Amino acid sequence: MVAQRVDLRSDTVTKPTERMRDAMANAEVDDDVLGHDPTAACLEREMAKIMGKEAALFVPSGTMANLICVLTHCQIRGSEVILGDYSHIHIYENGGISTIGGVHPRTVKNNEDGTMDIDQIEEAIRDPSFEICYPTTRLICLENSHAHSGGRCLSAEYTDKVGELAKKYGLKLHIDGARIFNASAALGVPVHRLVQAADSVTACLSKGLGAPVGTVIAGSKTFIAKAKILRKTLGGGMRQVGVLCAAALVALEENVGKLEGDHKKAKVLAAGINNIKGLKVDLLSVETNIVYVDILKESGVTEDELIKNLEIHGVLAMTEGPCKIRLVIHHQISERDVQYTISCIQKIVSGLPDKNGAN
Ligand SMILES: Cc1ncc(COP(=O)(O)O)c(C=O)c1O
């Protein structure tokens, strides 16, 4: 029997709260493919307002949301999108924009803070006078917070600059805002300001916000009308979807205010682990709820051994490639869970004394 169970694999592992389950059970619903589900309409209105856009659309997942947005912006064959070489769309979404949408990706190096250099983005824009050979650049994608860089945030000023560049060349700007609420809480800037320059934005409800299912796309009325057709094409049109949207509305009420606390816990976890000999966390990179831990040789453990041993203590984590693990804080992780996790890792890692000489 483990003393405690602490699930740090992702912020997608949360269980619906009692209030969410009640709201789901009592949700007022109708057929949303026919456009008549009142709870879905309510969530979409609320999300459009939060994101400062004309309209919004509930879709099953962040992956489908990004796919719909890229394909809606790139309806002409031979379109190219500029995106980060470590962006979620490029690495983790099965290449859907090309396999399903026929859209060509052009990557620009993601810096450690999740940005791409503006001059490199500009260089990547194709010269239309050579369209006989080149694909046509139509879209730039940003990701905020940037998952692969440890959940680091893009400032409103940076996003504005990319937006200005996009305008200068007649391109559209999409933001993968799977964790845009985390970025907003960390920067102290409202979501609508962070995405002001974007033509489309996605926000996942089932990550830091803790809803069981769903992502919302926001944009102009015309954009959302086109996106709705594509959602149906991809099989994402759902009938009595108000059952899911009801939980998401509760998530907005219950959990947005908890994100700042999640980020504080992530910093405590990061500092505690960084204090253990043989492990290293780049403390500056911990801006939101994701903690990447580098496992050094002197720790005496591999990433798989660390994960397996943590599981024996009831702590769940994920590997993030060789010599690296990932821990993610969410609203169902307490301060006590954080301290318990640090003490378990300390025990596992060779019983070595910490960097202050204590054991
Ligand atoms: C930055 C980012 N975008 C998009 C997604 C895709 O979301 P989903 O898992 O809902 O498809 C994820 C998932 O973790 C993500 O981290």
pTM of the model: 0.96
Strand, coil or helix: 82: strand
Q: Is the pLDDT of residue 359 over 60?
A: no
Task: Judge whether 27 and 39 are in contact, CB under 8 Å.
Answer: yes
Local confidence band at 351 (pLDDT 50, 70, 90 cut-offs) = low
Does residue 237's CB lie within 6 angstroms of at least one atom of ligand 1? Answer: no
pLDDT at 356 over 80: no
Check: CB of residue 77 under 8 Å from CB of residue 89. no
From residue 282, alpha-carbon distances to 85, 88, 177, 291, 325 in Å are: 21, 21, 23, 9, 13
The response to whether residue 63 sits with its C-beta less than 6 Å from ligand 1 reads yes
User: 247 pLDDT exceeds 80?
Assistant: yes
- Indicate whether residue 44 lines ligand 1 (CB < 6 A): no
Token pair for residue 168? 């200068």
Beta carbon of 178 within 6 Å of any ligand 1 atom: yes
Among protein residues, the one with the nearest Cα to ligand 1's atom 16 is 147
pLDDT of 3 reads 72
Helices (H) and strands (E) in the chain, counts: 14, 13
List pLDDT tens digits, range 73-93: 999 999 999 999 999 999 999
On the question of pLDDT at 357 being above 60, the answer is no
Query: Of all protein residues, whose CA lies closest to atom 4 belonging to ligand 1?
Result: 62
Quick one: which atom of ligand 1 is closest to the CA of 87? 1
What ligand 1 atom has the least distance to the C-alpha of 64? 11
